[in-house]
Homo-oligomer: A and B are copies of this chain.
Amino acid sequence: MDLSIQQLAQQSGTTSRTLRHYGDIGLLPPSRIASNGYRHYDQAALVRLQRILLLRELGLGLPAIASVLEHETSPAAALRTHVDLLRAEQARLVRLIASVEKTIAAQEKGEEIMAEKMFDGFDHTHYKEEVQQRWGKDAYARSDSWWRGMDAASQQTWKDRLATLNSGWTAAAASGMAADSAAAQKLARRHVEWLGSIPGTPASTSGSTPRGNLKDYILGLSEIYVADERFAANYGGTAGATFVRDALAVYAEREL
């Protein structure tokens, strides 16, 4: 029951070029190569390909797919990580669209006047937004390789810290405590410290960026938590996200 490369391509909905590429990078080697050089694939290869395509549809990169298939440890864990990345990207797009629409609206109001003033004020007024957007972009681009560069233990530690933080925030928000209470501020500090473990951001200690950036970064980030429902869901709803933002804002003003 051998399949030729074209047959496999057609069955799975990809192209033969893609299959040769997967073969080249070792992601899906042909199960047999005939004496004339032709590639042949068996049923196992078909199944593997289907899994690859599924993971690809879910947005994983080819190296990530390879690592999932090799360390056959719980695809669910890999997917859970990935969904977080997707959410970050999704949140970025939400802000992006809002920002573009705001720009369009502003331009339509007074094209002539705005045309210059808008760009004049760019680096001052829009600074916070810029930080937000840049953060989203950079972080997503780097987080994947960063994440996969960690060993399993570090990954677990990182996720544990996140889980602890989230449950702490949720409980604090539900208890009705004040955002500037000692307990909330303690959470805020831990949150900022946790953020520091993500490289390539103003909060990362390895960066040589001045602290002024960090404050704006935290303030911008906390606004995202409120503005985007996806984050809000992590903190027990909009009220929870608002609480997180307020606590972070107080902390940023006081300590950064």
Contact = CB atoms under 8 A, between A and B. Distances in A.
Among A11, A12, A80, the most chain B Cβ lie within 10 Å of the Cβ of A80
Contacts of A96: 57-59, 86
A129 B54 CA distance: 11
A94 B93 CA distance: 11
Among A83, A100, A119, A129, the most chain B Cβ lie within 10 Å of the Cβ of A100
A57 B94 contact: no
Interface residues of A, number: 43
A144 interface: no
Interface string A88-99: 011001101101
A119 B54 contact: yes
A12 B86 contact: no
Interface stretch (A26-34, A101-109, A154-162): A101-109
B97 A86 contact: yes
A176 interface: no
Contacts of A51: 119
A50 interface: yes
A122 interface: yes
Given A54-B122, A99-B57, A130-B13, A90 B80 contact: no
6 contacts: A12-B123, A13-B123, A53-B130, A57-B134, A80-B104, A83-B97
Given A82-B100, A89-B93, A90-B97, 9 more contacts: A12-B123, A13-B130, A54-B122, A54-B126, A57-B96, A57-B99, A74-B111, A76-B107, A90-B93
Interface of A: 11-13, 47, 50-51, 53-54, 57-59, 74-76, 79-80, 82-83, 86-87, 89-90, 93-94, 96-97, 99-101, 103-104, 107-108, 111, 119-120, 122-123, 126, 129-130, 133-134
